[in-house]
A and B are shown apart, each in its own frame.
Chain A
Amino acid sequence: AQSVTQPDIHITVSEGASLELRCNYSYGATPYLFWYVQSPGQGLQLLLKYFSGDTLVQGIKGFEAEFKRSQSSFNLRKPSVHWSDAAEYFCAVGGNYGQNFVFGPGTRLSVLP
């Protein structure tokens, strides 16, 4: 069965520092991979997605993610974190018709001034 793991429940970084959030997935076919962000009390917003092609994908708000098939990973990165990036981040995997869509448990990001 498909699954997504996010090993880090909570990460704290200083403003201006670099960030990497880890995501590993298990999926029986070619995965469609997503990163969503959820600010407190808000719905989920898509940061970026990967379907095929270049394994390094750029998203909104300066985020990027790299798909590594050999490691079944899709880690999210940002070179310099801003205080407004404090939120919950979810990695998700799904099939090409919306089936088997699974979210990871989320990583809560705190940003120190």
Chain B
Amino acid sequence: DAGVIQSPRHEVTEMGQEVTLRCKPISGHNSLFWYRQTMMRGLELLIYFNNNVPIDDSGMPEDRFSAKMPNASFSTLKIQPSEPRDSAVYFCASNRQGSDNEQFFGPGTRLTVL
């Protein structure tokens, strides 16, 4: 299994630009999670999907952030417009709901907003 795949691995952009992060969960997993990791705030759950439906987006910081899961094998996290304080590592994780609940993490996308 290829594991959770995230792209890009690194993204550098300028303030005000739109940023799209991508995630491909492990095949057969029906839950997908987006996290943000910063030195100041640690690891924060932004949103999670179950069977492609957003279940809890209470961690999404503001309206500039949006996430979609158009099908079981793909999800995006979009920031529009981006701001320097959005600089962080963004992780995607997936698991199979109803199993032993372990989340499998992707390698992360390091976002730098100048």
What is A's interface to B at a CB cutoff of 8 Å? 32, 34, 36, 42-46, 49, 51, 90, 94, 96-99, 101-106
| CA A110 to CA B95, docked complex, whole Å | 30
What is B's interface to A at a CB cutoff of 8 Å? 4, 31, 33, 35, 42-43, 45, 48, 50, 55-56, 91, 93, 95, 97-98, 100-108
The count of A-to-B residue pairs whose CB atoms sit within 8 angstroms is 55
Q: Known contacts A34-B102, A96-B101, A97-B98: does B45 contact A42 (CB below 8 Å)?
A: no
Question: Which A residues are in CB contact (< 8 Å) with B56?
Answer: 99
Asked if A43 and B33 make an inter-chain contact with CB atoms under 8 angstroms apart, the answer reads: no
B34 → chain A, closest Cβ, in Å?
A: 12
Q: For the complex, would chain B's binding face be called helix, strand, loop or mixed by DSSP majority?
A: strand
Kindly list 19 other residue pairs between chains A and B, CB separation below 8 angstroms, not including A98-B48, A98-B95, A99-B48.
Answer: A34-B102, A42-B107, A42-B108, A43-B106, A43-B107, A49-B101, A49-B102, A94-B101, A97-B98, A97-B101, A98-B50, A99-B55, A99-B56, A101-B33, A101-B45, A101-B48, A103-B42, A105-B42, A106-B42
Q: Which of A34, A36, A90, A98 has the most CB of B within 10 A?
A: A98
